[in-house]
Structure 1
Amino acid sequence: MNTHHHTRLTAPEIASLWTQYLFDTMSICFTKYALSHIEDEDIRHIYQYSLKIAQSHVEDIRGFFEHELYPIPQGFTKQDVDVHAPRLFQDTFYLNYLYIMSLHGLSGYSLSLSTSIRKDLRDYYVTCNEEAMEIFQKCVDAVLKKGIYNRPPVINPPEENRISQASGIFEWVVWTAASFDCYRNQSYYVQYE
């Protein structure tokens, strides 16, 4: 005999949904403002995709709250932004902003997933993570295509393994720092003997 129980939302699940609702309604406002100024078609397409996702999240979260007879947060509305206000940023800023927000989305959705018990919420946050990954991929592809990505430094492979048990990690850190090409011939170069 199958017995179905209605599992109520837990406190962490409510907090995650509430927070995401606020973030997504804010994102909708900012994205609509950005779309009124973005000229670059590649960036515009990413923002249009992002807007569609944020709008679907707001609807999904409303559905969760309505099903639980829980009040829907007010969130941000069109009264909170003037989409016709003068342009504040260049297109490259908008792209970098969305790139950073996609990183925050990946972190937030992963945390929300890890604190969710109900299957429907876990499935929802898996989908949110997949969407955030897609935005992340689109942003990285665009910043690379436009040549505006600041790549982290690279580390040359060591010629030998110089870690010894006696000196441990400290010697390795100093040796690794000394092996960076960018530190050679610098006045602050540390010579470890």
Structure 2
Amino acid sequence: MEHTPRLISSEVAALWNAYMQNSMTYCVIRHFAEVNEDPDCTDLIKTALTTCQYVITEVKQIFEKENHAVPIGFTQEDVNLKAGRIYSDLFTMRYIKYMASVGTAASAAFLEVLARNDVRVFFSTTSQMFMKLYNDSCDLLLKKGVFVRSPTIPPMEKAEYLQSESFLSGLVGKHRPLTAIELAHISKNSETNSIGRTFLVGFSQAAQSPDVRKFMERGIEIAAKHETVFRNILVEDGVPLPTTWDSTVSESIDPPYSDKLIMFQTNSLSAISVAGYGAAIGASLRKDLGGHYTRLVSEILQFANDGVKLMIENRWLEQPPQNVDREALRNREN
């Protein structure tokens, strides 16, 4: 006897999050497409838009089939295609690469908590689409000679076991050299902050609300500070610094995106940073690195919390699916 079960909470959460993220990303890239001047970037942009549109359409169909409210998300009202360029075509490529990597990781992570076959097939497909988009963007950046690589280290001469707990030291005095995995996380988190800072510089001059502009300025300061922390770690360890991720930001103040989208994108980048720092804490055995990440995570969490408050005040934060409030039902007025 065939049986199609209802969506479970983790499936609803995964689908809802996918819709919100991709409807936002679609708007961002839609404006990139409008101002793009690099012919080499055209196909990459088209693939990115197709991927986002696939996610939006499929989630909508699943929710409608289940009589589940489709999220408001982001629409054409959140993007002004007539606005001038703010970010360079190079930043477009880097943004697509970065968001494709986030989409790949999110789709793969969601698979662990999915039960229904159709939902698993959907996220398996999106994971493959985002992976292709990521590889295409990497190939394009490499072709143009602007792919930012993480630092290189000499080849390890032989494999051996540790013989001293000094490997864990680092809070006081001399510490041992960074491991390859620690370098990888420092590079990744530096990239996140650099992309975020570039985005926020443009947002800070194009946002319509003074409160949003002020919030963006605060975010720029935090991202720059965190980049400095990571660069200092590399300098102290004698590691060659990677080339900068900065891209040109124009002087345009004509807003291509709504303040609602600007705040959602900013909070999304904050969430990605927290996840990245958390992963780095688990992979970093040097104590001083754990101390750095713990302190920086706390700062981002406070920034993100203030961002949520600002969005609620302006009625920009869409309520995610949640369980029934039993207490409210019991205490209702007759």
Shorter chain as denominator, the TM-score bin is 0.7 to 0.9
Which residue in 2 is equivalent to 1:170? 167
* Unaligned runs of at least 5 residues, structure 1: 178-185
TM-score (norm 1): 0.83
Task: Give me the whole-angstrom Cα distance separating, in 2, the residues matched to 1:188 and 1:31.
Answer: 38
CA contact (8 A) 1:163 1:169 kept: no
CA contact (8 A) 2:14 2:110 kept: yes
Task: Give me the whole-angstrom Cα distance separating, in 2, the residues matched to 1:54 and 1:162.
Answer: 46
Counterpart check, 1:47 vs 2:49:
no
- Return 51-60 or 89-98, whichever deviates more: 51-60
The residue identity in structure 1 corresponding to 2:45 is Y
CA contact (8 A) 2:60 2:70 kept: yes
Count of equivalent residues: 178
Identity %, equivalent residues: 28
Task: Give me the whole-angstrom Cα distance separating, in 2, the residues matched to 1:161 and 1:58.
Answer: 48
SS state at 2:114 partner: coil
Counterpart check, 1:56 vs 2:54:
yes
* Unaligned runs of at least 5 residues, structure 2: 169-174, 180-234, 239-334
Alignment of 1:153-192 (within 5 A): 153-159=151-157, 163=161, 165=163, 167=164, 170=167, 174=176
Moved over 6 A (4+): 186-189
CA contact (8 A) 1:34 1:94 kept: yes
Which residue in 2 is equivalent to 1:88? 86
What is the alpha-carbon root mean square deviation over aligned residues? Answer: 2.4
Identify if the C-alpha distance between structure 1 residues 164 and 98 changes in structure 2 by more than 3 Å, giving closer, same or farther: closer
Deviation of 1:188 (Å): 7.0
CA contact (8 A) 2:22 2:55 kept: yes
Q: Deviations over 1:76-101 (max 9, x none)?
A: 11111101111001100110011110
Which residue in 2 is equivalent to 1:183? none
Identify if the C-alpha distance between structure 1 residues 25 and 188 changes in structure 2 by more than 3 Å, giving closer, same or farther: closer
Identify if the C-alpha distance between structure 1 residues 188 and 169 changes in structure 2 by more than 3 Å, giving closer, same or farther: closer
SS state at 2:35 partner: coil
Alignment of 1:1-150 (within 5 A): 3-150=1-148
Task: Give me the whole-angstrom Cα distance separating, in 2, the residues matched to 1:85 and 1:48.
Answer: 20
Task: Give me the whole-angstrom Cα distance separating, in 2, the residues matched to 1:121 and 1:8.
Answer: 11
The residue identity in structure 2 corresponding to 1:87 is R
CA contact (8 A) 2:178 2:237 kept: no
TM-score (norm 2): 0.49
CA contact (8 A) 1:36 1:83 kept: yes
The residue identity in structure 1 corresponding to 2:142 is L
Deviation of 1:6 (Å): 2.3
The residue identity in structure 2 corresponding to 1:13 is E
The residue identity in structure 2 corresponding to 1:170 is F
The residue identity in structure 2 corresponding to 1:38 is N
CA contact (8 A) 1:102 1:135 kept: yes
Deviation of 1:69 (Å): 0.7
Deviation of 1:162 (Å): 6.7
Task: Give me the whole-angstrom Cα distance separating, in 2, the residues matched to 1:105 and 1:175.
Answer: 33
Task: Give me the whole-angstrom Cα distance separating, in 2, the residues matched to 1:130 and 1:104.
Answer: 13
Deviation of 1:107 (Å): 1.3
Task: Give me the whole-angstrom Cα distance separating, in 2, the residues matched to 1:23 and 1:32.
Answer: 14
Q: Deviations over 1:17-49 (max 9, x none)?
A: 111111111122111111011111221211111
Task: Give me the whole-angstrom Cα distance separating, in 1, the residues matched to 2:166 and 2:135.
Answer: 35
Identify if the C-alpha distance between structure 1 residues 137 and 160 changes in structure 2 by more than 3 Å, giving closer, same or farther: closer
CA contact (8 A) 2:48 2:133 kept: yes
Q: Deviations over 1:31-78 (max 9, x none)?
A: 111101111122121111111121121111111001101111111111
SS state at 1:39 partner: coil
Task: Give me the whole-angstrom Cα distance separating, in 1, the residues matched to 2:121 and 2:45.
Answer: 24
Task: Give me the whole-angstrom Cα distance separating, in 1, the residues matched to 2:28 and 2:237.
Answer: 44
